[in-house]
Structure 1
Amino acid sequence: MIEYAPVDDVALGALAQRLVEIPGVVAVVLGGSRARGTHRPDSDFDLGLYYRGDLDVTALRALAVQEAGERAEMTAPGGWGPWVNGGGWLTINGRRVDWIYRDLDRVQGIWADCHKGRYEVGVQAGHPLGFYSHSYAGEVALSRVLADPSGELTDLRESTRAYPRALSAALVDGLWEADFSVGLARYGAVGADPAYAAGCLFRAVGVACQALHGHAGQWLINEKGMVASAGRLPTAPQDFTARAQRLFSHVGESPQQIERTVTDAAALVREVQTAVGR
């Protein structure tokens, strides 16, 4: 049995204070499952580094080496892609501690878009559904602030607790894509192409999860656990989680098998449409 070294609030707070002393870093938060209280004993610690302007990556790398050893590496902003942005995957005292960059001005801009009912879905490694831009606001809302000398991020966190009605409406309106994706999955049935059908069905279920969360005014920040989370919402169709997961347990090999799976998916999407008033 693996024993994991403890990481207490004092240690996290001390590290966060050292991070905000680095030029460019405005605030540091604890994010992910650790902030939400849904973590496992082996879960990583995700530290969001909110920065503005030129980030002193050299100083960050030096601190990372002090904390995690000579093999620690930090990327420049953009090193992990256009949305996850960059940071470092570190091991500190035997625990995984990830430092993840977020451009605070960009986050503020995305938050303004949320109030206008605007969002975009970007291609990003590690996000097979695509990175939904409003995740930036959700990350702030679900985080725990560790260091914030100016108070700017704390203020933003308080404002993001109120889910924008315009964003809710936009995500519900986006449910058309789930129905469209189910239709595309039927091509997979006709062509005996389960890989294509599975991809389309994943997209359909993911869009449905976003619509359900938007309708409920609950932040959904990535695909991990999205089906289970949607199933816990009070407006979700009955047995949503089990039915959605069952779609992917065996899509099928013959056209008839794939068609049955697609038919089940279509029924589930129709129930989601009814649940959100569509």
Structure 2
Amino acid sequence: MEEIAARVTRVPGVVGVMLGGSRARGTNRPDSDWDLGIYYRGAPDLRALEALAADVTGGPVEIHPPGTWGPWVNGGAWLVLPDGSQVDWIFRDVDRVRQVWEDCRAGRFETGMQAGHPLGFWSPVYPGEVALGRILAEGTGELARLKEETRSYPEPLREALTGAAVWDAGFSVAMAAKSSASADVLYASLCLSRAMGALVQALHAHHRVWCLNEKGALATVATLPRTPPGFAPRAAALLGELGDTEARLRHSITVAEDLVTEVREVVGRPAGFSC
């Protein structure tokens, strides 16, 4: 992977390559994919990347230009190496990452629709990827400097994100309650899933832990010291046994209300948040 990363970094427009995902954190399985974040400035040379990908895989590879995978995940490619290893190339605009980091330091963040992120893409993912990733290759040291900066979770972001996320969770549960009388399972399930996801975000932020996506996030919060007792299994049971009648939905909503209250007590209610 380091050899591939070094070759990618020599492509015009590429700033550097970072290993992300479970392999960067040491939590991977033997069959886990390799996630390579390709940080670029301006417009990377897609033809050169296409040729390089064909060379390392032994066959043609489609390169998806920035913007084709959505507003946040951007673009990239899926590679299968001759030994069967699966490698994901994921484009990241380094200037946009830097701007999001500056916003996070000031307590500003945003969320957006993005395929692969059913509860939305939270902008702090960008600096979180740098903080938790492993630099495989770069030319100027720019990624190393950014990685050093992102080692510390910004206090303004912690306050803003916890406040906004807990409020969002409470609002979502209230909206789910309004649908229980009509047993609107679709709407209730979406609201309660959003609520649990927001609480997970709040607990990560409260503990100054970067949350990169929904996968594994519930298990992670179970290990954090000030997470309410039994939060993860209770949230899992809530979502797994939502119900399809008014009575069962009301029970699920009551459980959700309790979880919101308990998380709010843990994180407090920071004054003044923005999202």
TM-score of the pair, normalised by structure 1: 0.94
Which one of 53, 68, 73 corresponds to residue 57 of structure 2? 68
> For 1:198, which of 189, 197, 208 is the aligned residue?
189
For 2:212 and 2:229, the matched residues in 1 are separated by 23
Q: What is residue 267 of structure 2 aligned with on the other side?
A: 276
**Equivalences for 1:123-272 in 2 at 5 Å?**
123-174=113-164, 175-272=166-263
Q: Which residue of 2 aligns with 1:15?
A: 4
C-alpha distance in 1 between matches for 2:210 and 2:29:
21
Unpaired segments of 5 or more residues in structure 2?
270-275
Task: State the TM-score, normalized to the length of structure 2.
Answer: 0.95
In 2, distance between residues paired with 1:173 and 1:231?
A: 20
Cα pair 2:53 2:60 within 8 Å, conserved: no
Partners in 2 of 1:41 and 1:184 — Cα distance?
Answer: 42
Task: Tell me, yes or no, if structure 1 residue 95 matches structure 2 residue 85.
Answer: yes
Match of 2:272 in 1: none
Q: String of CA shifts for 1:111-167, please: whole Å, max 9, x gaps.
A: 000011000001101111100011000000000000012011011001100000000
Q: Return the structure number with greater relative CO, CA threshold 8 A, min gap 6.
A: 2
What is aligned with 2:273? Answer: none
Whole-angstrom CA distance in 2 between matches of 1:187 and 1:72: 49
The root-mean-square deviation of aligned C-alpha atoms, in Å, is: 0.8
Write out per-residue CA displacement over residues 243-271 of structure 1, whole angstroms, 9 at most, x where no aligned residue: 01001111111100000001001101100
Write the distance in 2 (CA, Å) between the matches of 1:231 and 1:100. Answer: 29
Distance in 2 (CA, whole Å) between partners of 1:235 and 1:84 is 31
Aligned residue for 2:26? 37
Q: CA deviation at 1:168?
A: 0.2
Percent sequence identity is 52
Determine the structure 2 residue equivalent to 1:53. 42
How big is the shift at 1:188? 2.6
**Letter paired with 2:218:** V
Q: Unpaired runs of 5+ in structure 1? A: 1-11
Q: SS of the counterpart of 2:90? A: strand
**CA positional deviation for 1:227:** 0.9
Tell me how many residue pairs correspond in the alignment. 267
